[in-house]
Amino acid sequence: MTVLYFAQARRVAGRAEETIAADAPLTVDQLWAELLNRHPDLAALRATSRLACNQQFAQTDTLIHPGDEVAIIPPVSGG
Amino acid sequence: MTVLYFAQARRVAGRAEETIAADAPLTVDQLWAELLNRHPDLAALRATSRLACNQQFAQTDTLIHPGDEVAIIPPVSGG
Amino acid sequence: MTAMDIAIRISPDVIAPPAPVASAQTGAVATFLGTIRASENGESIRGLSYEAYQPMAESVMRDILTALAAPHPCQSVLVQHRTGPVLVGETAIYIEVHAAHRAEAFALLAGFMDRLKQDVPIWKTDVIA
Amino acid sequence: MTAMDIAIRISPDVIAPPAPVASAQTGAVATFLGTIRASENGESIRGLSYEAYQPMAESVMRDILTALAAPHPCQSVLVQHRTGPVLVGETAIYIEVHAAHRAEAFALLAGFMDRLKQDVPIWKTDVIA
Assign residue A51 the CATH number of its domain: 3.10.20.30
Q: Which of C53, C58, C59, C81 to mutate to test the interface with B (most CBs of B within 10 A)?
A: C53
CB D48 within 8 A of CB D36: yes
Number of structural domains chain A divides into: 1
Residue D103's Cβ-count burial label (10 Å; 0-12, 13-18, 19+) is: middle
Cα–Cα distance, B19 to B12 (Å, whole number): 17
Q: Is residue B41 part of a domain?
A: yes
Q: Where are the domains of chain C?
A: 5-16+25-128
Q: Which residues of D touch C (CB under 8 A)?
A: 16-38, 88-91, 100, 102, 105-106, 109-110, 113
Tell me how close the Cα of C110 comes to any Cα of chain B, in angstroms: 12
Beta carbon pairs, A and D, within 8 Å: 57
Q: What angle do CA D12, D13, D16 make, to 5 degrees?
A: 140
User: C119, B57: Cβ pair inside 8 Å?
Assistant: yes
Confidence tier at C1 by pLDDT (50, 70, 90): low
Do chain A and chain B touch with ≥3 beta carbon pairs under 8 Å?
A: no
3-class SS string, chain B: CEEEECHHHHHHHCCCEEECCCCCCEEHHHHHHHHHHHCHHHHHHHCCCEEEECCEECCCCCEECCCCEEEEECCCCCC
Q: Is residue A5 part of a domain?
A: no
Q: Is residue A6 part of a domain?
A: no
Tell me how close the Cα of C21 comes to any Cα of chain B, in angstroms: 24
* Residue C31, helix vs strand vs coil: strand
User: D124, A52: Cβ pair inside 8 Å?
Assistant: no
The DSSP H or E segment spanning C42 is none
Residue C21: alpha-carbon gap to chain centroid: 18
Of A29-38, D34-43, D81-90, D114-123, the range with the lowest mean pLDDT is D34-43
pTM above 0.80, yes or no: yes
Supply the mean pLDDT for chain D: 96
pLDDT per position as a tens digit, C28-50? 999 999 999 999 888 999 999 99
CA-to-CA dists, residue A39 to B14, D98, D124, angstroms: 84, 46, 23
Beta carbon pairs, B and C, within 8 Å: 57
Percent of chain C whose predicted confidence (pLDDT) is above 90 = 93
Instruction: Indicate if ipTM > 0.90.
Output: yes
pLDDT at D2 over 70: no
The interface residues of chain C toward chain B in range 85-124, judged by CB-CB distance below 8 A, are 92-93, 113, 116-124
| Residue positions counted in chain D | 129
Rounded (10°) CA dihedral C116, C120, C126, C129: -20
Q: Is residue B1 part of a domain?
A: no
pLDDT at C109 over 70: yes
- Give the domain D5-16+25-128 fold: Aldehyde Oxidoreductase; domain 3 (3.90.1170)
Tell me how close the Cα of A59 comes to any Cα of chain D, in angstroms: 14
Q: Is residue B9 part of a domain?
A: no
Average the pLDDT over D24-36 and give the result: 98
Sign of the alpha-carbon torsion through B52, B57, B63, B68:
negative
pLDDT at C2 over 80: no
The bridge status of strand C47-52 relative to strand C122-128 is antiparallel
Q: Which of D37, D41, D54, D56 to mutate to test the interface with A (most CBs of A within 10 A)?
A: D56
Q: What is the DSSP letter of A46?
A: H
Q: Can you give the residue range of the structural domain that contains A25?
A: 19-73
Q: Which of A52, A74, A79 sits opposite D92 (nearest CB)?
A: A79
Q: Is residue B67 part of a domain?
A: yes
The interface residues of chain A toward chain D in range 25-64, judged by CB-CB distance below 8 A, are 52, 55-57
pLDDT at D22 over 60: yes
Confidence tier at A13 by pLDDT (50, 70, 90): very high
3-class SS string, D3-57: CCEEEEEEECCCCCCCCCCCCCCCCEEEEEEEECCCEECCEECCEEEEEECHHHH
pLDDT per position as a tens digit, C51-75? 999 999 999 999 999 999 999 999 9
pLDDT at D1 over 70: no
D77: left (phi over 0), alpha (psi -120 to 50) or beta: beta
pLDDT at C123 over 90: yes
User: D24, C37: Cβ pair inside 8 Å?
Assistant: yes
Tell me how close the Cα of D34 comes to any Cα of chain A, in angstroms: 6
Cα–Cα distance, A13 to A21 (Å, whole number): 17
**Among the listed residues A74, A58, A67, the one whose alpha carbon sits nearest the alpha carbon of residue A10:** A74
Average the pLDDT over D79-101 and give the result: 98
HSE-up (13 A, CA, CB side) for residue B52: 24
CB C123 within 8 A of CB C54: no
Residue C89's Cβ-count burial label (10 Å; 0-12, 13-18, 19+) is: middle
Residues 6+ apart with CB under 8 A from D43: D127, D129
Q: Is residue A11 part of a domain?
A: no
